[in-house]
Amino acid sequence: MNKVRRCASVSNDEIRGSIKLFNDELTLDNISRPLFVNMCKYNAIGLFGTDAYVRYMLRKRLQE
């Protein structure tokens, strides 16, 4: 988390290791709209449809 706060480069393995600390279903339901939009853009998920559908697509992509 300190690397992310400093805007330092973070490897995919470090991200995968820290993901286990969070319950992504709860986190995705409670994140702010701007963060949600940025996560979708980063994962190449369109924002078409209801928020519930887009959150489902984001969960699905994160599980892959």
Is residue 37 within 8 Å of residue 47, measured between CB atoms?
Answer: yes
Residue 10 in domain: no
pLDDT attached to residue 4: 76
Reported pTM: 0.54
Residue 47 in domain: yes
Residue 16 in domain: no
pLDDT band (50, 70, 90) for residue 59: confident
For helices 33-42 and 51-63, what crossing angle results, to 10°? Answer: 50
Residue 4 in domain: no
Q: Is pLDDT of 64 > 80? A: yes
Reading the block at residue 64, the tokens are: 């892959």
Residue 40 in domain: yes
Q: What is the pLDDT of residues 33-55, one digit of tens each?
A: 888 888 888 888 988 888 888 88
Residue 37 in domain: yes
Place of tokens 């209801």: 50
Rounded to whole angstroms, how far apart are CA atoms 16 and 4?
14
Residue 33 in domain: yes
Residue, of 4 and 53, whose pLDDT is higher: 53
Q: Could you tell me the residue range of the domain that residue 36 belongs to? A: 22-64
